[in-house]
Amino acid sequence: MHLDHQDGFPERHTYSAAAPVRGDGTRRALRIGLGGPVGTGKTATVAALCRVLREEFSIAVVTNDIYTREDAEFLRREAVLPTERIVAVETGACPHTAIRDDISANLEAVEDLEESVGPLDLVLVESGGDNLTATFSKGLVDAQIFVIDTAGGDDIPRKGGPGVTTADLLVVNKTDLAPYVGVDLDGMARDAKAQRGELPVAFTALKQPDGVKPVADWVRAQLTHWTTATA
Amino acid sequence: MIPTIPEAAKPAPEPTTPGVRATARIAATGRGGATTLTALDGDGPFELRRLRPRGNEARVIVVGAMSAPLGGDRLRIEATAEHGASLHITSATATLALKGATAAPATYDVALTAGEGTQLHWLPKPLISAVGSDLRQTLTADLARTARLVLREEQILGRAGEPPGRLATRLVVRRGGRTLLHQQADYGPGAVGWDGPAVLADHRAIGQLLIVDPSLEYARNPPRLLAEAPESGQALLAPLAGPAVLVTAVARDGLRLRRLLDTAEAAVRGPGG
Amino acid sequence: MTRAALLVLADGRFPAGGHAHSGGAEPAVRAGRVTDSTSLETFCRGRLHTAGLVAAGLAAAAAAGHDPLALDEAADARTPVPALRSTARKLGRQMMRAARASWPSAALDALAAARPRGAHQPVVLGLAARSAGLTPLDAAYAVAYENISGPATAVVRLLSLDPFDATAVLARLATDVDRVAAAATRAADRIPAEGYDALPAASAPLLDITAEAHAAWPVRLFAS
C-alpha cells in the first residue's frame, strides 16, 4: 500500500548527538558545524576541506540554505563530493533555528547520510549565513568552526558574540584582502586572543594554493581525537 | 463493514413532507469475453438506457426524467460489475440540485462495486448546485484488487451568474477492502472557509478524475501541473499512495473545468490511450 | 499526569521542525491570495476547517489509543498529493524524535520501528499526547492550533506583516479552533462503532494543488 516510501531503514534508538555510537553500536561520524555571517567563505571552506580530506576520510555534507538549495547545488557542481553525499536542509527563513533551537531536520539529514552512504568518518554541517550570535547546538555537532573575514572589518573579533568567543575554531578568511580593506591582521589576532583565550584561531586565504591547510589540520586533529576517544 | 456517513454528510432527519425516494440498479457480468447486463432497473427520476456496446464493454446512459434532486429527495444509484465485466456509465444531462418544497437536504448516493478483473467507468455529466439547494452527495466505490476504475466527477457551484446552493460531497474508494481515497467537501452558504484562499478562492467549478489500475506504475506518473495560466484554472495530476492517479482541478466555470479535465484525461491515457 | 504537558506539546518552540514550513501560506502569498491580515484570516479559517480538521481527527484518534498504523493508512487516503504526504511524514519523523525524548513510551518506540521514515505527523502527535497522559481533545487542540499558527508565523516573515496583527488573527480564530477540536474528537469517538471512515476527510483543492507546485520551486523560503 505504501508506495511513497520504502521501510528499509533500521530502527533508530538515538535522538541527539550526545551518544557517540549509533543504534547498532558502531561509532558514528564526527560532526563539525561551520557557521558565520553571509559571504565570509563558509561554502568555500567546506569545498576546500572536502577536496583536501576526501582521499583520507569518508565525508558527507549537510547545507542549511536560507531560501534556496544553492549552497548544496554549488558543492555538487564543483564536484567536491559525489552528489549523494551532499544534502540540503530547508530552514524556513530562520537558519539559526535549524542549527540551534530545533535541530531535528539536521539530525535526520545527518542520520540519513550515515545510512545511505556510510560508514562515514566526518559530516560537515554548514549553517546558512547568519548573525554573530548563531551557534550550533551540542545536540547536533561535536565541534564548531566560526568563519569571519577581513572584509567584514577588523573590529569583529573585538565585538565578540557567541560565535567568535565560543567556537572551537575561529577562522579569519580572506587575509589576502587585508591590505585592500585596511585591516590590521595582528590587531584581529590580539582581539581574538582576548576574547577566546586558548581557543585556536586560523587565518586563511582560500584563493591561495592549499589556503585551507590550517583548517584541514585542525579537522584532522579533531578526527584523531574522536577515533581514539570513542574507540 | 457498512459504509458510514460522517457528520458533514449525515442524512437529514426524516422530512415531514417526504420527497422522492428512488434507487436505480445496474449490474453487469462477464460471459465468454463479453459483458451482459443482468440488471437495468430505473426508478423515480432515473431512466436507464442501454447504448450500443463498444467491444466487450456494456454501455449505459442515465437519463434524468426530472430535474431532480430537490430538497427532501433520497436518490441512489447502484452499479455492479462482476466476473470480468466491462461497464461504462454516463448521464445524458447535468444533474441539477434545486431548492425543494421542504427545507430538508436532498441526498444522492452512488454505490459502485467492481469485482475481480472488471472495468468500471463512471463518467456522469456535471452536478450543478443551484441557488437555495441543499444536497449531500456520496460516492462509494468498492474495488477488488484487480478491478480497474475510471471516475470523473464535476461539481459546478451555482448556475451562470447565481450564488451556489449548499453542496456537501463525500468520495470513498476502497480497494481490496482498504481505503485508497477518502475526500469530503462542503461548499456554499453555511459551509466555513470554502471560498477562502486555502480552499477554492474564486473558483466555482471543481473536478476529479480518478483512475485506479493495478498495472499503473507509480514512478511513471510523477505529479504534474496541468494548467499554468491562472485564467484557465488549476489542475494537478498526482499518484495516490496506491496504484491510482487523481486529477484535482478547479476553474472559474464549468466550461474551463471541462477543458482542464479533458487535457488531464489525455495526459493520463497517454498517446494511443 | 499533567495538563501542562499540553503547553509543552503545543509550544511553537517544541523542536519538531514546524518552523521550516508555511502550511501552504508561501504559495498563497506568491499567488496574491494572501496579502494582509484579513486574507490571512480567511486562509487560516479555510485551512483549519479542512486540513486542520482532518489532522485533528487523526491526532484525537491516536491519542484515544486507536491503531497508529491504521490511522497512518487513513491519513494517506486523506492526503491525495505526494508533496503533502512527504511533508507529513518528514514532520512526523521530527515529531517522533522530540516526542520520544520528552515522553518516552513503548507505543512511540513501536511506531518509530514500524515507520522509520516517519508516520503522518498528526498520528505521531496524537500518540505523543497519549504518552504524555493527555486526552484526545487535548491532542486535537494542539493540532488544530498548530494548523493555523504555522501559516500565521510564516506570513509574518513572508509579508513583513505586523506580528500583533497576525497574533490577533489567531485570537479571532479561537472559537473556530474550539469547534474543530470538538468535532475531531467526536469523530474519533465514533471509530469503535463506524470504523476509520468516521474520521473527517475534508479536502482543500487549492492547498493540494499549490503544495505540489511549491515543492517544485527552485527558490523558496519554506520547505512546504
Q: Indicate the residue of C17, C101, C112 with minimum beta-carbon distance to A102.
A: C17
Question: Which chain B residue shows the shortest CA-CA distance from A1?
Answer: B242
- Look at C78 and B182 and tell me if their CB atoms are within 8 Å: yes
Q: In this structure, what C-alpha cell is assigned to residue C196?
A: 476509520
Q: Indicate the residue of C31, C81, C186 with minimum beta-carbon distance to B238.
A: C81
Positions in chain A short of pLDDT 50? 1, 5-16
Number of structural domains chain B divides into:
1
- Which residues does chain C have within 8 Å of residue A5's beta carbon, measured at their own beta carbons? 89, 117
Structure confidence by residue, pLDDT tens digits, B209-232: 999 999 887 656 789 998 766 678
CA-nearest of B223, B266, B203, B215 to B242 is B215
Q: Does residue C52 belong to any structural domain of this protein?
A: yes
Mutate to test the interface with C, among A102, A111, A136 (most CBs of C within 10 A): A102
pLDDT of B91: 94
- On whether any CB of chain B is under 8 Å from the CB of A77, the answer is no
pLDDT of A73: 86
Q: Does residue C6 belong to any structural domain of this protein?
A: no
pLDDT of A9: 37
- Which residues does chain C have within 8 Å of residue A9's beta carbon, measured at their own beta carbons? 116-117
- Look at C83 and B4 and tell me if their CB atoms are within 8 Å: no
Q: Does residue C133 belong to any structural domain of this protein?
A: yes
- On whether any CB of chain A is under 8 Å from the CB of C130, the answer is no
Q: Does residue C10 belong to any structural domain of this protein?
A: no
Q: Does residue C49 belong to any structural domain of this protein?
A: yes
Omega cis (within 30) before A82: no
A37 labelled binding-site residue? yes
A39 labelled binding-site residue? yes
- Look at C50 and B198 and tell me if their CB atoms are within 8 Å: yes
Structure confidence by residue, pLDDT tens digits, B80-128: 999 999 999 999 999 999 988 888 899 999 999 999 999 999 999 999 9
Question: Which chain B residue shows the shortest CA-CA distance from A2?
Answer: B241
Question: Which chain B residue shows the shortest CA-CA distance from C45?
Answer: B193
A40 labelled binding-site residue? yes
- Look at A101 and C13 and tell me if their CB atoms are within 8 Å: yes
Q: Are A65 and A73 in contact (CB under 8 A)?
A: no
Q: How far is B192 from chain C (nearest CA, A)?
A: 7
Q: Does residue B22 belong to any structural domain of this protein?
A: no
Number of structural domains chain C divides into:
1
Domain that holds residue C107: 18-214
pLDDT of A6: 44
pLDDT of A227: 87
Structure confidence by residue, pLDDT tens digits, A126-155: 998 877 778 999 999 999 999 999 998 888
Torsion angle of C-alpha atoms B222, B226, B229, B234, degrees rounded to 10: -100
C145 residue type, one letter: Y
- Look at C201 and B184 and tell me if their CB atoms are within 8 Å: yes
Rounded to 5 degrees, what are φ and ψ at C65? 100, 10
Q: Does residue B39 belong to any structural domain of this protein?
A: no
- Look at A91 and C218 and tell me if their CB atoms are within 8 Å: no
Cα–Cα distance for residue pair B187/B169, rounded to 1 Å: 9
Average pLDDT, chain C: 96
CA-nearest of C132, C95, C85 to B246 is C85
- Look at A92 and C76 and tell me if their CB atoms are within 8 Å: no
Q: Are B24 and B42 in contact (CB under 8 A)?
A: yes
Structure confidence by residue, pLDDT tens digits, C134-162: 999 999 999 999 999 999 999 999 999 99
Q: Does residue C189 belong to any structural domain of this protein?
A: yes
CA-nearest of A141, A51, A38 to A98 is A141
Chain C residues 60-99 with a CB less than 8 Å from chain A: 73, 76, 82, 85-86, 89-90, 93-94, 97-98
| Bridge-based pairing state of the strands B148-157 and B134-143 | unpaired
- On whether any CB of chain B is under 8 Å from the CB of A5, the answer is no
Long-range contacts from A9-14, C-beta under 8 angstroms, 24+ separation: A9/A115, A9/C116, A9/C117, A10/A115, A10/C116, A11/C112, A11/C113, A11/C116, A12/A111, A12/C112, A12/C116
pTM of the model: 0.91
Taking the domains of chain A in order of start, what are their residue ranges? Answer: 27-223
Question: Which chain A residue shows the shortest CA-CA distance from B217?
Answer: A3
Q: In this complex, which chains have at least 3 CB pairs below 8 Å with chain B?
A: A, C
Q: Does residue B31 belong to any structural domain of this protein?
A: no
**Between B70 and C123, whose confidence is greater?**
C123
Number of H helices, E strands in chain C: 13, 0
3-state DSSP call for residue A17? Answer: coil
Which CATH homologous superfamily contains domain A27-223?
Answer: P-loop containing nucleotide triphosphate hydrolases (3.40.50.300)
Q: Indicate the residue of A68, A98, A103 with minimum beta-carbon distance to C219.
A: A68
* Cα angle, residue B151 at apex, residues B246 and B74 outer, rounded to 5°: 120
**Cβ within 8 Å of residue C51, ≥6 positions away:** B198, C23, C147, C202, C204, C207
**CA distances in angstroms from A180 to A125, A154, A174, A176, A177, listed in the order given:** 31, 12, 11, 8, 5
Q: Indicate the residue of A7, A12, A92 with minimum beta-carbon distance to C221.
A: A92
Question: Which chain C residue shows the shortest CA-CA distance from A93?
Answer: C221
Structure confidence by residue, pLDDT tens digits, B136-193: 999 999 999 999 999 999 999 999 889 999 999 999 999 999 999 999 999 999 999 9
B255 residue type, one letter: L
Structure confidence by residue, pLDDT tens digits, B6-37: 554 555 555 455 688 999 999 999 998 899 99
Q: In this complex, which chains have at least 3 CB pairs below 8 Å with chain A?
A: B, C
Q: How far is A92 from chain C (nearest CA, A)?
A: 4
CATH number assigned to the domain comprising residue C167: 1.10.4190.10
- On whether any CB of chain A is under 8 Å from the CB of C16, the answer is yes
| Bridge-based pairing state of the strands A30-35 and A122-126 | parallel
A14 labelled binding-site residue? no
Q: Indicate the residue of C22, C94, C218 with minimum beta-carbon distance to A105.
A: C94
A209 labelled binding-site residue? no
CA-nearest of C207, C199, C205 to C147 is C207
- Look at A1 and B242 and tell me if their CB atoms are within 8 Å: yes
Q: Does residue B23 belong to any structural domain of this protein?
A: no
CB neighbour burial string for B240-263, b if at least 16 within 10 angstroms, e if fewer: bbbbbbbbbbbbbebebbbbbbeb
Q: Indicate the residue of B178, B241, B243 with minimum beta-carbon distance to A4.
A: B241
Q: Does residue C73 belong to any structural domain of this protein?
A: yes
Structure confidence by residue, pLDDT tens digits, C172-195: 999 999 999 999 999 999 999 999
- Look at A3 and B241 and tell me if their CB atoms are within 8 Å: yes
Q: Does residue C36 belong to any structural domain of this protein?
A: yes
Q: Does residue B101 belong to any structural domain of this protein?
A: yes
A183 labelled binding-site residue? no
Structure confidence by residue, pLDDT tens digits, C114-129: 999 999 999 999 999 9
Helices (H), A82-203: 95-96, 104-117, 156-159, 162-166, 178-181, 185-196
- Look at A9 and C116 and tell me if their CB atoms are within 8 Å: yes
| Bridge-based pairing state of the strands A143-149 and A122-126 | unpaired
Omega cis (within 30) before A209: no
Q: How far is A6 from chain B (nearest CA, A)?
A: 12
The sheet that has A30-35: what strands, in order across it? A86-90, A59-65, A122-126, A30-35, A143-149, A169-173, A201-203
Q: Indicate the residue of A16, A69, A102 with minimum beta-carbon distance to C19.
A: A102
Q: In this structure, what C-alpha cell is assigned to residue B119?
A: 472495468
- On whether any CB of chain C is under 8 Å from the CB of A227, the answer is no
pLDDT of B67: 60
